[in-house]
Structure 1
């Protein structure tokens, strides 16, 4: 009978035990001032000479014993620290390198024999099961696919698989610092927090609490503070002791950790006397049955939580949850952002605006040609200022040529500068940069003087200009100065498009034709990004002014699905469709784009021909600028008397604007020159300009000496 009962008990134990009993008792009771309060060296009435000389307990002059466990001045020696990073934009890697430098300079209190910095994707996750080095994770969390996904999934699966030992990571000592953007709301640092939680639940010893460094604040200062705290904790040798967190498991909160040791003890796996006897008296069976039942429920809830975690999408599509309380207004450009943007050549205006000299402005000053806007719309680049009243954007596009150094946001939560102040600041800084070019070889005196009278403003520098709360007043201030406005929006703020007053030309970026590809390319912040995108096109169709679809072609990303592009064109009914090959701006870590993703001009032409053939008789290829790998598809409304009129009569535009009477896009058109027409031998390059070639790139080396061989 006794043997039968023991077999039953053994079977019950197999049901409720999730892992092996943690062998931590010996660790907890070892050390200088070990767990035995009565018999430990520091509590002994008469410590032995050997004990006293060992440094554990030291006697003073009166022969009274004292514990010196916490007073050791010896440096903490660490054999190996591994710093893992997961990064899209390169920030996590940079912080990982900083941590390595700080650790190397931490002596003499902390002496690390070896420090390894590596990308988390280069490490075999299963090696964590036997890892003995101290593991530090610097992880960037995004709400889109990224390098952290596989490691996060592996950790989650390890945590919720009932077949896995619940102390499978008990040999690991770790710390996690998450990098993210609080604009993502509930998704801010969620991956880092989950990994920190799951490692603890799997028996790993947490050296220092989870860090959360926000890009919308001073992220560098936050990380420096976390690093200082982490290193200070290493200076305490006891911080490196193994101490897996074992908290009573709360079945209603998956964030808590279960103490399998306590669970096993409760059902008879270990008795208070430490005998380890598995025998259970028959009269105790009833008491144990309730605990077995609770363990079964606990296990079922874990399995359900695991299934739910697998089914949960990274981003739920639906109505965006509004914040319950308005955040405190602060300046958009933090010191770190100011440093990064200034390094790229920006001039920051006020707290949220910027201006920068375009390379085509420099080329125009030297008579080396104008950008595609000259071919398409008659703009001379040295008379144009590239600026924005809002450096913030609601997307993180993979081809962002500013390397994601600008802030992001879904709602305006920053301080607001006055429109007149921004306009004055933009022009002043633009003219200062023009003045700095007077010593550049080849600058023409007449164009240098003309450049101090800006005629056009391209509101497409970076960010989302329409995001600025006083965009209408800002545009009005430019129009009062007879400066035309070319405003670009990323189609995530349809209400702002609807409220926008007359601009010279309104652009909408069409970076993809499907919901899935738009998320992959633009990486929007809004959960209902696709609904906002379509609503923006609907709003564009009702504007009654010159509108442009701006397509940036990225090979292997958005060059397919012609039919879907056609549907979008029919929905937005733009005046023009600009198709341009993506410009590769070098590797930044912000995306995986390479030169292989840049299409040739012939590929752009073929794409446009397919679009025109599919959309019907309403559109036709009108102009090109081969140097920029750009094509202009225009509505046939602008083909007047069989001649294209894509250029703009700017004096006429301001005359109509000042009249206060309604007018449409056909009221201020101008004829397109022959050299700009698609198929012309000039391919969109103004013949009045001198084309320069890089060394060895001149297709006609015997050309006139006026054509230089170097830029």
Structure 2
């Protein structure tokens, strides 16, 4: 503490110093310092939240939305946007799914919305009654619909949807979603953003796949719907995102008196689509007069409307041409196997080779290593199952068959649009991975030493693992590499690429999957991507008849789907004139969202035999030659392979390699036919034998605790 005398001395000293230096009284300096400290404190102190008058809240919300000006960069975020002044809307996400993709997209959006702090609810349309519930969705809700092209249940909207309580809505996907978008709009719901579409076909998808389409849509979603969800923008019954629902004229013009269309509506429609697709849904749109095509009373379509119908297809072609030109100019193409797909296939036991190929051990390879029997190819054609390599140079396919045992984890497409690996890389990678998987059986109980050593030297290649091998542009070079190593080739195709079949080099045996005998049933079972799938199918069968080597029709029987089309199957046989017809009961691979098959669709072996006998009666040139009861499979063979009462369905593999070498050295001049490398079928493999196709040299094991769902 200072005494009184000390304070007076200090005051006098400060007065002398400051007065002599600045000519300012000391108390003035002290007062100025206090004011400066107070000003700094007030500026750093956090501002109080503004109090909003509840009676004028709605008016305030509309007025506080900041306008975009040149000086907004200098305004602080809190001055630009005060969240306390706005009312956040809740989000409701609906999904209708067949394979689980729509559900997955709904979950991804839900997770993102939750992280941003919004209230969100996810609802399965399969458990939602629109008649009772949709009308209750009010103006405080934004609805998002994720629906697949086709959903397994009917979706109807309530006719009593009140115009006084419109909800905001968004939609994503194809045909079903288009209808939902149109119906909700007619029921006075307010469209938050234009219709979004995704395409599973990577060729026709604008962004290279449905996942990429979703990511692009999600960015647009937050740009369009974000301001509405947080309350900074409001939709009214007369406007959507600032645009009049009925066009610039507000629906007051006289354009529609003669059944025409408002010109301003047409301008709005041009913005209604985010992504163009060229799947068979477009064909439905062309035939649907309710989707933008108007007719007069005589039923004649206006030429202007006809041009609009073709708009999407032209846009898609232009986009594709631009992509092809970019690729031709050195643009980088995408890899077929994405990280997510690689993870899924690896989990299933695949070894991925390069960017688009794969190899996997067949269960029959493992079985024969233990001396427990071979597959039906061993019975029908004499292959050594433990020396068979199952691979594919293309994991992509042009079909999405209901019985696909890969559960549709592979990509789909109608043409090759990915990066392409050299055939040497594919061959060496497949061979190396297969041999390494065989080596892992060293020391496994039951594995026979001699077959283990033989298994490390593959002698056969089943090009039927997954996907469509014939899509690979260098398939002929890949086949030559296999033959150079004396590995026989069993090629399977889904009959959607007739030109590729025509140009295919000779293989040991060429299969064509004939899963149905009519256009409707083929579309139902194979679910092809091509619009002209039936024409391609028939042309492929015709090209098969021109091949000189062994050819096979492969029929997969699905009970209640394709087992009652005997006469139609017989007609298809006359087109391709195959050497053999394999008829196999469908293999049930467990529950899958990608397929509606159950055990009730799997025919018993006796039922398959009955079907084969019926179709044999319609085909006088064919007889039942062999069976493999364990695989539920029967072989019909042309009578030209029955010599002196004995069947010659087996293959002389050394002879085949000699013939194919001569063919290659003569540049294709020295041709050969299926009869040039046939071998006699042993008695145990002939139909009617007590072994029912099981090699007596092997030991058969019956599983009791586990269901046998394998096959090759």
What is the rounded CA distance, in whole Å, between the counterparts of 1:34 and 1:240 in structure 2? 9
User: Measured at CA, do residues 306 and 649 of structure 1 come closer, stay the same or move farther in structure 2, by a change above 3 Å?
Assistant: closer
Deviations 1:476-520 (A, max 9, x none): 110000000000011111111111111000000000001111111
What aligned pairs does 1:301-700 form with structure 2 within 5 A after superposition?
305=290, 323-327=320-324, 328=327, 329-616=333-620, 618-660=621-663, 661-695=670-704
> Does the CA-based 8 Å contact 2:192-2:240 persist in structure 1?
no
Alignment of 1:205 with 2:190, yes or no, is yes
What is the rounded CA distance, in whole Å, between the counterparts of 2:561 and 2:501 in structure 1? 27
> Does the CA-based 8 Å contact 1:171-1:242 persist in structure 2?
no
User: Measured at CA, do residues 225 and 395 of structure 1 come closer, stay the same or move farther in structure 2, by a change above 3 Å?
Assistant: closer
What is the rounded CA distance, in whole Å, between the counterparts of 1:122 and 1:555 in structure 2? 32
User: Measured at CA, do residues 306 and 169 of structure 1 come closer, stay the same or move farther in structure 2, by a change above 3 Å?
Assistant: farther
Tell me which of 230, 233, 244 is aligned to 1:237.
230
Greater displacement, 643-652 / 96-105: 96-105
What is the rounded CA distance, in whole Å, between the counterparts of 2:560 and 2:164 in structure 1? 40
What is the rounded CA distance, in whole Å, between the counterparts of 1:210 and 1:332 in structure 2? 28
Query: Secondary structure of the residue that 2:553 maps to in structure 1?
Result: strand
> Does the CA-based 8 Å contact 1:374-1:381 persist in structure 2?
yes
Structure 2 runs not aligned, ≥5 long: 1-55, 68-77, 203-207, 266-287, 302-308, 328-332, 664-669, 708-712
What is the rounded CA distance, in whole Å, between the counterparts of 1:308 and 1:121 in structure 2? 34
Query: Secondary structure of the residue that 1:31 maps to in structure 2?
Result: helix
Identify the residue that residue 81 of structure 2 maps to in structure 1: 70
User: Measured at CA, do residues 446 and 246 of structure 1 come closer, stay the same or move farther in structure 2, by a change above 3 Å?
Assistant: same
What is the rounded CA distance, in whole Å, between the counterparts of 2:108 and 2:242 in structure 1? 37
RMSD, matched Cα: 3.8
Greater displacement, 660-669 / 607-616: 660-669
Alignment of 1:136 with 2:144, yes or no, is yes
> Does the CA-based 8 Å contact 1:96-1:117 persist in structure 2?
no
> Does the CA-based 8 Å contact 1:169-1:204 persist in structure 2?
no
> Does the CA-based 8 Å contact 2:247-2:262 persist in structure 1?
no
Deviations 1:12-49 (A, max 9, x none): xxxxxxxxxxxxxxxxx9714366x7xx9999xxxxxx
User: Measured at CA, do residues 94 and 292 of structure 1 come closer, stay the same or move farther in structure 2, by a change above 3 Å?
Assistant: closer
Alignment of 1:31 with 2:58, yes or no, is yes
Number of aligned residue pairs: 581
> Does the CA-based 8 Å contact 1:169-1:199 persist in structure 2?
no
Identify the residue that residue 262 of structure 1 maps to in structure 2: 250
Identify the residue that residue 130 of structure 2 maps to in structure 1: 124
Query: Secondary structure of the residue that 2:236 maps to in structure 1?
Result: coil
Greater displacement, 217-226 / 446-455: 217-226
Identify the residue that residue 46 of structure 2 maps to in structure 1: none
Identify the residue that residue 161 of structure 1 maps to in structure 2: none
User: Measured at CA, do residues 467 and 552 of structure 1 come closer, stay the same or move farther in structure 2, by a change above 3 Å?
Assistant: same
> Does the CA-based 8 Å contact 1:129-1:169 persist in structure 2?
no
> What is the CA-CA distance between 1:88 and the residue it aligns to?
2.3
> What is the CA-CA distance between 1:688 and the residue it aligns to?
1.0
User: Measured at CA, do residues 413 and 42 of structure 1 come closer, stay the same or move farther in structure 2, by a change above 3 Å?
Assistant: closer
Query: Secondary structure of the residue that 1:540 maps to in structure 2?
Result: helix
User: Measured at CA, do residues 330 and 262 of structure 1 come closer, stay the same or move farther in structure 2, by a change above 3 Å?
Assistant: closer
User: Measured at CA, do residues 354 and 458 of structure 1 come closer, stay the same or move farther in structure 2, by a change above 3 Å?
Assistant: same
> What is the CA-CA distance between 1:174 and the residue it aligns to?
2.1
Deviations 1:447-480 (A, max 9, x none): 2211110000000011111111111111111000
> Does the CA-based 8 Å contact 2:260-2:294 persist in structure 1?
no
What is the rounded CA distance, in whole Å, between the counterparts of 1:355 and 1:483 in structure 2? 15
User: Measured at CA, do residues 121 and 326 of structure 1 come closer, stay the same or move farther in structure 2, by a change above 3 Å?
Assistant: farther
Query: Secondary structure of the residue that 1:537 maps to in structure 2?
Result: helix
> Does the CA-based 8 Å contact 1:89-1:403 persist in structure 2?
no
User: Measured at CA, do residues 409 and 681 of structure 1 come closer, stay the same or move farther in structure 2, by a change above 3 Å?
Assistant: same
User: Measured at CA, do residues 299 and 500 of structure 1 come closer, stay the same or move farther in structure 2, by a change above 3 Å?
Assistant: closer
What is the rounded CA distance, in whole Å, between the counterparts of 1:645 and 1:169 in structure 2? 79
Identify the residue that residue 86 of structure 1 maps to in structure 2: 96
Identify the residue that residue 15 of structure 1 maps to in structure 2: none
> Does the CA-based 8 Å contact 2:616-2:623 persist in structure 1?
yes
User: Measured at CA, do residues 304 and 169 of structure 1 come closer, stay the same or move farther in structure 2, by a change above 3 Å?
Assistant: farther
> Does the CA-based 8 Å contact 2:423-2:474 persist in structure 1?
yes
Query: Secondary structure of the residue that 2:499 maps to in structure 1?
Result: helix
User: Measured at CA, do residues 168 and 382 of structure 1 come closer, stay the same or move farther in structure 2, by a change above 3 Å?
Assistant: farther
Deviations 1:318-375 (A, max 9, x none): x999654454432211222222222211111111111111111111111111111010
> What is the CA-CA distance between 1:98 and the residue it aligns to?
3.2
Structure 1 length-normalised TM: 0.73
Larger Rg: 2
Identify the residue that residue 701 of structure 1 maps to in structure 2: none
